[in-house]
Amino acid sequence: MHDIRAIRENPDAFDAALARRGLAPVAADILAIDTARREKILAAETAQAEQNKASKKIGKAKASGDEAEFDRLRALVADKKAEIAQLNEAAKAEDARLQEMLMGLPNLPLDDIPDGADEADNVELHRWGTPRAFAFDPKEHYDLPAVQAGMDFQTAAKLAGSRFVVLKGAVARLHRALAQFMLDTHTTDNGLTEVNAPVLVREEMMYGTGQLPKFGEDSYQTREGWWLIPTSEVTLTNTVSDTILDAADLPRRMTAHSLCFRSEAGSAGRDTAGMLRQHQFEKVEMVSITTPDAGRDELERMTKCAEGILERLGLPYRTVVLCTGDVGFGARRTHDIEVWLPGQNTYREISSVSLCGDFQARRMNARYRPADGGKPEYVHTLNGSGLAVGRCLIAVLENGQEEDGSVTLPQALLPWLGGKTRLTADGELV
């Protein structure tokens, strides 16, 4: 959420930043509501002072036997009480309008991210690895003989409908091994604290990280009112909601492996084949809570943590910075890491690492106490995939495929696969 004081101080800069996202000016509308709200608050405070003044005089009028003055003052107090209640209710209504407007506006992009309309305008930062030259036409993951027995879309459709998959046998073990490899790398080598948190959350948690109110159709809600998390960013980030941390406790770096749920609203017809875009999937998430001055360095650190997973697996990738038209709702700057998928002959997103500034912290009321003991300030939050497990499985399968239908597996996974190095064309680990 945005700082109303910053909008008051420089409305033109606020509109200019939103314009980079392709949005129309709104500062004037925001300030009109804010002005009406403040006027009503001031009027209520003035009426309260008048009520207090009259209340003090009532006793004196009663003691002096001035019944007329007593009745006048008592009527005045009653009128002011009603007026105050009316003004407070009006101020509350204006505040609700203001909060609704601010909650619906995206974060402001950093000055140094590129302008652009969509993903075509994203700017590549660097590449790692060289895509393998195949002596045959590489297949997509779902067409590989090695996975035919272990990747069952037909049974999943019977159980749950489209965009689900049942993983079995060696493929299920490989999927699990990838998640464990990521978690162990992040906790042992990257210094993140592992967290196991609920996948059902209260509505205010979804508001806190920006999934609500604007993107409610992208997630699932239960009859009891809980929401299924679209990513454990929601739970990890909200662990500090309504909290004042000590500066000495920052940065707080967390990771979690969880189920994630997305309705994929608006994505009809996109990536329907295979398990690239599913309603239920698994992800290893990274979240950092830090001070404002450390946010940008933390973004670079988290990006390297995600890239490091791909490098250990020997998977070629490229990292891009998202343009203003593609950056997410809650982010100020985002690095997308795209892994090479030979079956599609292109790079596909496998991680987004985002710096959110104090945008989420204001929504969650998450603050820290500076080391010098000054007034509490809002923390800065970051989140990123480290990585999407299903997409990593796809990349391992496609990049390791052999002409005989088998798959050569990354050496980095040996400790999690019992020393097995290959998935045979019959779907056995050997």
Q: Give the active site residues.
A: 262, 277, 349, 352, 391
285 labeled binding residue: yes
Q: What is the rounded CA–CA span in Å between residue 141 and residue 139?
A: 6
244 labeled binding residue: no
239 labeled binding residue: no
Contact 292, 380 (CB under 8 A): yes
Pairing of the two strands 243-246 and 366-369 = parallel
394 labeled binding residue: no
Contact 265, 232 (CB under 8 A): no
Tokens representing 279 are 């309603």
9 labeled binding residue: no
- Biggest alpha carbon–alpha carbon distance for the chain: 109
Contact 386, 186 (CB under 8 A): yes
Q: What is the rounded CA–CA span in Å between residue 232 and residue 287?
A: 9
Secondary structure in 3-state letters for 105-131: CCCCCCCCCCCCCCHHHCEEEEEECCC
41 labeled binding residue: no
349 labeled binding residue: yes
Tokens representing 25 are 């000016």
403 labeled binding residue: no
User: C-alpha angle with apex 82: 77 to 83, nearest 5 degrees?
Assistant: 95
350 labeled binding residue: yes
Which residues sit in the known binding site for L-serine? 231-233, 262, 285, 383, 385
Which residues sit in the known binding site? 231-233, 262-264, 285, 349-352, 383, 385
Which residues sit in the known binding site for ATP? 262-264, 349-352
